[in-house]
Structures are given as C-alpha cells and as structure tokens.
Copies of this chain bind each other. A is one copy, B any other.
Amino acid sequence: MAAWAKRLAGVRGVLLDISGVLYDSGEGGGTPIDGSVEAVARLKRSQLKVRFCTNESQKSRGELVRLLRRLGFDISEDEVTAPAPAACQILKERGLRPHLLIHDGVRPEFDQIDTSNPNCVVMADAGDDFSYRNMNQAFQLLMELERPVLISLGKGRYYKETSGLMLDVGAYMKALEYACGIEAEVVGKPSPEFFRSALQAMGLEAHQAVMIGDDIVGDVGGAQQCGMRALQVRTGKFRPSDEHHPEVQADGYVDNLAEAVDLLLQHAHE
C-alpha cells in the first residue's frame, strides 16, 4: 500500500474530472478508460458523495452526459459542474453580450444569452473552429472595445484524444491575450470560484473533499489551492514528468481511477 494513502482519511466527497479520467474522447465519441465505469459505480454505492467537475467546453452538459451514459457511466446532468453554465451566470450578472468563439456542440448552453451587438468575447475549446478567420474575428472585436473583456472556459494546454494530444483552449487564449495586450478571465478549473461552486453543490467543505484528475496544474494544483486534497491519475494527458512538476505535487499518484477508488474505499473512513 502507498504510504500517502493515509492522507485520504476523513474524505467525505470526491470530485471527478471527466476527460482523461472517465474516458478519452475521440472517434465515435471516445473510449472508457479501463476500470472507470466500475469505479464510478462503486463510488456511488459507497457513502462518499460524488460530483463531476469538468472543463469540457466542446459539448453541452446534455450531450456529454448522453455520451457518457452510452459508454456505461452512471451520471446525470445535475451531477456535473461545467464552465459554460458558470459563464452564463457571469454574463447575466454583468450585462455582458458575448461574441462566441465556441464549438457548435456547446452552443445550446448559450441559448438564453443575448449575443447582439457584442461587448465581450467568450471562448471555449472550439477544436476545428479555431480557424484563422474565427480567431481574427474575435481579435478584431476585442481591439474595437474600449474595455476589452475576454472570458475563457478553462485554460488547459492540451488534452488527450484516442488519436493523440490535442491543443486546448488555453493555447488560443494565450494567442488572443498576447495579440490584444490583455488578460483573460478564466471560468472553470483552476479558478477557485469554480471549485467552490462544485463543493457547494455537494454540501462539503474543501478539507472534506478530494479531486481526482489527469491535469497536474488545472486539477491537482487548482484543487489544492482551494484547500482540497488531490490525486493525479496516470491516464489521459498524464506525462511522467508531471510527477516531478516544479510547482505542484499531488497528494498521491495512481495508475487510474480504479486504483484511486480502491484506496479511497479503504482509507476514507479511517
């Protein structure tokens, strides 16, 4: 047994990243990661609270949940904390009308948002829609605004598809930040507000929860800065160098979600 597993004592709830932990996206929707379907089922049968905390911004929650259920996962829409609904709330609160640099898959989340005469840009993982033309359109709009506001759904560097590593929204966010000389507001992990809204939905304090993710900075570092414990799985975008990251050290490293759940079920109630 890993010595660090003692650190799991007292955990009452688990926040699960989705992409790279539950499944790898790719052709035909994607592939579940070995053991993850059963691991989620075991967690749900346990006394631990479970919530899914994702930066997925190519799909609406509805589409994501349908895909995951098709892959065998026990998950429903109201168990998912995702950046698009959080962004919509911010837009409404601040009277912002976005130009949307997003994938068509996530567009339904913005159905109730006024996008006429835009006074900000909201960007998400647009995938192939990150064309030069679309990037330039967002850039020109920001340069015309007296107070340019750029909201980015996450700032991931890359994610893993079954076919290989893929550039994530963070790379394109950096491009617009540099071109416009501005700093984006990030909605999603690793923003503390985002983790706190997930904790609130579970009715837990940070010290009672553990985050499980494949992103050493966005998942592990972000959760730890909120006072949570955090494990990194060696699946998804994990790379061996993550275990020697210059700034972030996970509370533990596990081969996959199945191993994390084994250890949690053994040690959480100690």
Contacts and interface: CB of A to CB of B under 8 A. Distances in A.
Contacts of A177: 174
A157 B181 contact: yes
Nearest to A129: B132
Contacts of A166: 136
Report which residue of A129, A133, A171 has the largest number of chain B beta carbons within 10 angstroms of its beta carbon.
A171
B133 A167 contact: no
A250 to B, nearest CB: 18
A124 to B, nearest CB: 13
Contacts of A4: none
Nearest to A130: B132
DSSP class of A's interface residues: helix, strand, loop or mixed? helix
A10 B102 CA distance: 55
A140 B161 CA distance: 12
B135 A130 contact: yes
Contacts of A37: none
A128 B131 CA distance: 7
B164 A178 contact: no
A143 B128 contact: no
A181 B217 CA distance: 12
B128 A132 contact: yes
A167 B132 contact: yes
Contacts of A178: 157, 170-171, 174
Contacts of A164: 140
Interface of A: 126-133, 135-136, 139-140, 143, 157-158, 164-168, 170-172, 174-181
